[in-house]
Amino acid sequence: MASLNTRIHDWSRQRVWLIGASSGIGAALAQDLLSAGAQVALSARRADRLETVAGDAAQALVAPFDILNKDGWRDRYADICARFGGVDLIIFCAADYHPERSWEVTSEGAAHTLAVNLGSVYTGLATVLPDMLARGSGGIAIVASVAGYLGLPNASVYGPSKAALINLAELLYADLHPRGLGVYLINPGFVQTELTAKNTFAMPALQTPQAAASAIRGGLSDGAFEIHFPRRFTLIIKLLRWLPYRLRFALMTHLVVPT
């Protein structure tokens, strides 16, 4: 079957800007891409953590900033272009998450999660897309989540933000693929990170950040549109979406069990 995106055969020719590279999946993916030879600009707020992730990799660029600062996007992009000459692939991996039921949500907390998970992606797109469209090449990778497949308990704001990213990735592909750009949708299951450490329920098929990074790079290399893992878990969640609501709701009440 033909790939929906151009396959990436040589990572040494890729200039990557990874947003959310200081911990979890982002940090593991940054190190994986650096080991594959890619030039990687690492961004997050915590410069010290970015330095640790970058290590002594000559092709790494530590570019810290606050993704909620719109001017910061412009400034960091200028720095990256000055060093790398441009960006071939931007990966949106930053996320905010608080396990909470719907009655526990506050307007301030919801606004912050939506700003980090969704609003910052739009700011980043506005930053990089003009140059990518002008040259007719480049790639956009959005890390959403299987939490965006269904309305799951405890993901009262996080889940809807990830559902919006899934929708965004689909419409971006329709808009940008005919113009020569690649779009990748990444939907991880449960991964051992600082965010999932907040959970007090059993997390089936829990993976390490390194396993997640390997799956993501493999999907990008293969030119996949949707990269979801681990499939023994994600395929079950996908199947639930096809059930009538009566059955789906009955099953969903048992998906999140406090421990």
CATH of the domain at 92: 3.40.50.720
| Structure tokens that stand for 204 in this block | 């089936």
The residues pairing with 39 across neighbouring beta strands, listed in sequence order, are 15
3 state SS of 216: helix
Between the alpha carbon of residue 226 and those of residues 15, 70, 71, 161, 184, the distances in Å are: 21, 28, 31, 17, 6
Whether 152 has a pLDDT exceeding 90, the answer reads no
- Which residue pairs, CB below 8 angstroms and at least 24 apart, start in 147-150? 148/187, 149/187, 149/237, 149/238, 149/240, 149/241, 150/237, 150/240, 150/241, 150/248, 150/252
Choose the catalytic residue: 149, 158, 173, 184: 158
Hey, CA dihedral for 156, 162, 168, 171, is it positive or negative?
A: negative
Q: Report which of 98, 225, 109, 93 is spatially closest to residue 154, judged by C-alpha positions.
A: 98
Given CA atoms 251, 252, 255, 257 in this order, what sign does their dihedral have? negative
Q: For residue 109, what are the CA distances in angstroms to 104, 112, 152, 157, 188? A: 10, 5, 18, 9, 23
Residue 2 lies in a domain: no
Cα(221)–Cα(251) distance, integer angstroms: 35
Task: Judge whether 22 and 49 are in contact, CB under 8 Å.
Answer: yes
Helix (H, G, I), strand (E, B) or coil at 194: coil
Over residues 8-13, mean pLDDT? 96
The pLDDT value recorded for residue 204 is 83
Does a cis peptide bond (omega within 30 degrees of 0) precede residue 230? yes
Domain that residue 24 falls in: 11-252
Is 5 inside any structural domain? no
Examine residue 36 and state whether it is found in any structural domain, yes or no.
yes
Q: Say whether pTM exceeds 0.75.
A: yes
Query: Tens digit of pLDDT for each residue in 61-112?
Result: 999 999 999 999 999 999 999 999 999 999 999 999 999 999 999 999 999 9
Render pLDDT for 126-138 as a digit per residue (tens, 0 to 9): 999 999 999 999 9
Has 158 been annotated as catalytic? yes
Count the domains in the chain.
1
Would you say residue 143 lies in a domain? Answer: yes
3 within domain boundaries: no
Nearest 5 degrees, angle CA 31-CA 32-CA 34?
65
- Mean of all residue pLDDT scores within the chain: 94
Residue 16 forms part of a structural domain: yes
pLDDT at 257: 38
**Quick one: pLDDT band at residue 255, thresholds 50, 70, 90?**
low
Say whether pLDDT at 256 is over 70: no
77-91, 198-212, 243-257: range with lowest mean pLDDT: 243-257
Cα end-to-end distance, the chain, whole Å: 43
Q: Quick check: is 258 in a domain?
A: no
Would 1 be classed as within a structural domain?
no
